[in-house]
Structure 1
Amino acid sequence: MADAWTIVPDLHADIDRARRLLDLGDPNVPQAFLGDFIDASQDASHPDDAAVLALVRRQVAQGAVAVMGNHELNAILYHRTGVDGVALRSHNEKNKAQHRSFVRRFGTATPEALDWTRWFLDLPLWLDLGGLRLVHACWSQPDIDLIAARRPDGRLAEEDLPEIAAEQSAFARAVNNLVTGPELPLPEGHGFHDAHGQERHRVRIAWWRSSARTWRDAALSVPRPEELPQGLVPRSDEVAFYPKDAPPVFMGHYKMQGAPRLEGPVTACLDYPESGCVYGWRGERRLHSDNLRVLD
């Protein structure tokens, strides 16, 4: 296994961005991709799921590694049916909109769509590369241990999919947590309004902030933190905060705002849609901001 990696965040069918991000890395160092290769945002000018997927699969064949994102898992379910003939992921308007660029290019449950989603099943949910960890949304050791008891290499099998789609079992919840991240219910009587003005009563938790104690310190994706209660976040089995002495871990998924930055000495989210960055890891146990490379 390589002792140096260029870590690349979510690409979302943007081939120009993908090439620019890869150009930030050392050409002699393999890439480590954090998932979410597909499904362009609605304001993307030239989405190209096929080009991004071809690029990533080519790099993986040449020594790169990649983990599965929630968009890959969603696609796997979208293009398969259960024993009742109903799609494992609903084809409702919300899901159609999210998956539009992929379907426009490959169709629904076509041979090409099924070929790509079979390749998605080759992507592990997490990777521990020896001194470096990769996951799309959340490194939760209890969930990883639960999944690994059935799937030691972190790769899902076709027979797991109906269970994951039903979202009822501990296994399904563990899979979902790794690719979408943890949420907690707010105390009764409390809520907040998201970026679209919708009132919510569950909040994303920054599992990498091991020293966070209050709702306002631990919450993510809350436009007006003052809407949150001022009290302490209760300890919960739903959130495994990342230990400060654990190996460095990288994630994408969270659409962070502002200038790219490290979240802590051993944690980094690289998903900054408005700017873009990669991290050049060289074996360090404590992350250095000098190794964070940002697009001009």
Structure 2
Amino acid sequence: MYDIIGDVHGQAGMLKDLLRKMGYTAANGYFSHPSRKAVFVGDFINRGPQIKETIRIIRSMTENAAAYAILGNHEVNALFYTLLDKEGKHISKRWSRLRMDLNPTLAEFAGNKEKWNEQVQWMRSLPLFLELDGIRVVHACWQDENIRLLKEAFCENPKLKKKQLKLIGRNHNVLAKAFWETCKGIDFSLPKDLLIFDKEGCAHRSFRSRWWESPEGKTFEELSFESRFELPKYQIPKELVVAREPYPADAPIVFFGHYCMRNGSNRIKHNVCCLDSCVSRKGKLTAYRWSGEKSLLDENFVQ
């Protein structure tokens, strides 16, 4: 059975404590459990104080069949940042701006470019999602049509080839949309005449939405998920609504991270679970111990 672990973001110390709390022991250079496997939902780099050690722990576990790991948007951003053209330039100015977020990770690998390139190659081998014996794991959003498109594009081979990344990075096609929604979620665009400011005075023209629910009949506030700014409490105009099917009540439990949940339950619905508990913002590191149940159980969360 599986222990699904939320966004770690370089908090290697907390990760070791959590693994030990769940009965994992370190031997031969990696953590393992006699009867269970860990599953990491992505976003293990950036922000925290021990990024290199975090990568080492997760990679050693995956390479020794003690864990699975998928890509988060932070790992995906690292892949695009390191993707250069024949002249050694970023394939788009958009990717050169990722340097600020990646600074903590790049700083830990400073002076050892070869080691960093090795980690990039490993990250490219990780999948964007997993289907494991009755559960689903994705970093930000599970939409059946998106998953179908990604399966077709990558032919069941999770390794992201440079050619595929360049195609996604340069184009706004259907595949690119499926790729970004899977690892970054579905952002809902605000009307052009509506501008929202957060507490720091930064303007926002979109917000993270509850992709597992239909937006029809909801207010902006009801549709938002873990937004760091207040949204209007009136109903979203019908002309702005793009219909989508809610996540089915009879579908397998889907586990994801990405959304910084400082407050509230990680159990969103009986089969929808967000495991990102804001570890990078003085929050907690959360896991769920799944043992075959079809509905989430509150007692199976570990922090």
Match of 2:289, SS? strand
Query: Quick one: which of 198, 217, 222 aligns to 1:217?
Result: 222
Indicate whether 1:128 and 2:137 are aligned: no
Map 1:183-202 → 2, pairs under 5 A = 183-202=187-206
Distance 1:232 1:261, change over 3 A: farther
Partner of 1:95: 98
Separation of aligned partners in 1, 2:131 and 2:237: 32
For residues 206 and 195 of structure 1, do their structure 2 counterparts lie closer, same or farther at Cα, with a shift above 3 Å needed?
Answer: farther
> Could you tell me which of 126, 144, 147 is aligned with 1:141?
144
**Aligned counterpart for 1:205 among listed residues 209, 221, 243:** 209
- Matched residues in 1 for 2:164 and 2:172: separation? 12
Listed one character per residue, the Cα deviations across residues 100-120 of structure 1 (whole Å, up to 9, x for unaligned) are 121112249922221111101
Which AA in structure 1 matches 2:236? G
What is the distance in 2 between the residues matched to 1:105 and 1:23? 25
- Aligned match of 1:61: 63
The alpha-carbon deviation at position 18 of structure 1 amounts to: 1.4
Which consecutive unaligned segments of at least 5 residues does structure 2 have? 25-32
Task: Give, in whole Å, the separation in 1 of the partners of 2:192 and 2:83.
Answer: 38
Q: 1:109/1:149 Cα in 2 relative to 1: closer, same or farther (>3 Å)?
A: farther
Cα 1:144–1:66 shift into 2, 3 Å: same
TM-score (norm 1): 0.87
Asked if 2 retains the 8 angstrom alpha-carbon contact of 1:13 and 1:49, the reply is yes
Q: Secondary structure at the match of 1:128?
A: strand
Are 1:138 and 1:177, in contact at CA under 8 Å, matched by a contact in 2?
yes
Structure 2 distance, partners of 1:67, 1:102, is 18
Could you tell me which of 248, 255, 268 is aligned with 1:250?
255
One-letter identity of the residue aligned with 2:129: W
Amino acid corresponding to residue 105 of structure 2 in structure 1: F
Deviation string for 1:152-207 (max 9, x for gaps)?
32622221111122242221121111111011212342232235332212121111
| Number of the residue aligned with 2:161 | 157
Give, in angstroms, the shift of residue 285 of structure 1: 0.7
Give the TM-score of the pair, scaled to structure 2: 0.85
Question: How far is the alpha carbon of 1:86 from its aligned partner?
Answer: 1.6
1:100-151 per-residue CA deviation (whole Å, 9 max, x = no partner) reads 1211122499222211111011110010112100001111111111111121
Query: Residues 196, 90 of structure 1: CA spacing in aligned structure 2 closer, same or farther, 3 A cutoff?
Result: farther
Residue 246 of structure 2 aligns to a residue whose secondary structure is coil
**Which amino acid in the other structure matches residue 190 of structure 2?**
L
Find the partner of 1:30 among 11, 15, 37.
37
Q: Cα gap change, 1:195/1:37 in structure 2, threshold over 3 Å: closer, same or farther?
A: farther
Secondary structure of the residue aligned to 1:36 is coil
Instruction: Classify the secondary structure of the residue corresponding to 2:207.
Output: strand
Question: What amino acid sits opposite 2:40 in the alignment?
Answer: F
Structure 1 CA distance for aligned equivalents of residues 232 and 215 of structure 2:
21
Taking the TM superposition and a 5 Å limit, the aligned residue runs for 1:41-120 are: 44=48, 47-63=49-65, 64-88=67-91, 90=93, 95-107=98-110, 110-120=113-123
Q: Deviations over 1:221-262 (max 9, x none)?
A: 33454535433675526x553222110000011111215431
Change (3 A) 1:98 1:184: same
Structure 1 runs of 4+ aligned residues shifted over 6 Å read none
Q: Identity of counterpart residues, as a percentage?
A: 26
- Residue 295 of structure 2 corresponds to 286
SS for the counterpart of 1:10 is: coil
Rate the CA distance shift 1:54–1:24 in 2: closer, same or farther, 3 A. same
Q: Which residue identity is paired with 2:285?
A: G
1:39 counterpart = 2:39:
no
Superposition RMSD in Å: 2.5
Between 1:179-188 and 1:80-89, the stretch displaced more is: 80-89
- 2:165 is aligned with 1:179: no
1:210–1:244: 8 Å Cα contact kept in structure 2? Answer: no
User: Is 2:15–2:285's contact at 8 Å kept on the other side of the alignment?
Assistant: no
Query: What is the number of equivalent residue pairs in this alignment?
Result: 285
